Amino acid sequence: MMSLTYQAATQEPLLVVEQERIAIRKWQEEGDKGSLELLIVSHARQVWAQAISWASNPVHIEDLVAEGIIGLMRAADNFDLKFKVRFSTYAIWWISASISAALARIKVVIDMPARTYVEASCGRLKGDKSVSAQMAIQDTIPIEAQVNDKDHFVSIALQSPEPNPEELAIAKSSSKALSRTLSNALEVLNPTERKIIRRLKLQYNPDCASKLAKEMNISRTKLRQIEKHALMRLRKELPKCGFQLEMLS
C-alpha cells in the first residue's frame, strides 16, 4: 500500500471535476493504477483529517490512515459517474466507515465492537456498559482482569495516573522542541500578526478578541482577518521548521 505523509497530503493539489472523473473512469474501465494513485494522493488529506480526529497517538494515526486509504480505494471502485457529485463528497463516507470499523481493533487492547467504541467515545453509552467501555478505551483494564457477578471488572493492577521519570523527561524534551519550532515559525509573521497569535492562541488564558481589537485600535473583523492570514502562513511554515505530529503526542 502506498504511503503518504501528512505534510505531503496537505501539499497535494486538489483535482478539478473533469480531472477526477477522467481518473475514475480510467480506473474503473481500464484498471489504470496511475489514475487510482492520482485519486488517492489528491484526496489523502481527507483521510488524515478523519484519522487525526479520532486519535492522537502517531502510531494509531498511521494505522487509521492506512485503513482510510482502503476506504478511499473502495470509493473509487464504487463511485457512479452518472451522479453529479464530487468524488470527495462520496468518498468521505467510505473513509469514515473504514476508519470507524478499525478504531476498536487499533486503539483498544481487548475485543470491542466498533459501534460500541464509537458510542462510548461520543458519550452515548449509559450505566455499567459506559464505565466498562471507557476503562477499556483508556487502557485501564489489565488483560488478567476478571468480571464479577455484577458485570464489573475486578482488577488487581491499576495504572498509575502519575508519569514515571522517563515519561517526564521525554515530555519535557518534546515540549522544548515544540516551543523552539513554534518560535522559529512565528518569525515569518510581522509584529502585529505575532501579537495577535500569541494573545489569542498561545496563552493559557487567551484574550478576548473584542478586547484585543479595542486595545490595538482596529475592528474585531479586521483582527480576525489578520489572525486567519497569520494562521495560514504558520501552517505552511511549521513543516519547514521541523514540526511533526509526534511533537503533539
Q: What is the pLDDT of residues 37-66, one digit of tens each?
A: 999 999 999 999 988 888 777 878 888 889
Question: Which tops the pLDDT comparison, 158 or 13?
Answer: 13
What is the model's pTM? 0.46
φ, ψ for residue 153 (rounded to 5)? -75, 135
Q: Are 119 and 96 part of one and the same domain?
A: no
Q: How far apart are CA 35 and CA 28, in angstroms?
A: 9
Residue 1 is assigned to a structural domain of this protein? no
Residues paired with residue 146 on neighbouring β-strands, in sequence order: 154
3-17, 65-79, 89-103, 223-237: lowest mean pLDDT where?
3-17
The CATH number linked to 70 is 1.20.120.1810
Q: How far apart are CA 29 and CA 32, in angstroms?
A: 8
Q: What is the pLDDT of residues 218-235, one digit of tens each?
A: 999 999 999 999 888 888
Q: Is the pLDDT of residue 121 over 90?
A: no
3-state secondary structure (DSSP) of residue 22 = helix
Residue 160 is assigned to a structural domain of this protein? no
Residue 110 DSSP symbol: S
- Total domains in the chain come to 3
The CATH number linked to 218 is 1.10.10.10
Q: Are 147 and 179 part of one and the same domain?
A: no
Which domain does 62 fall in, by range?
A: 6-107
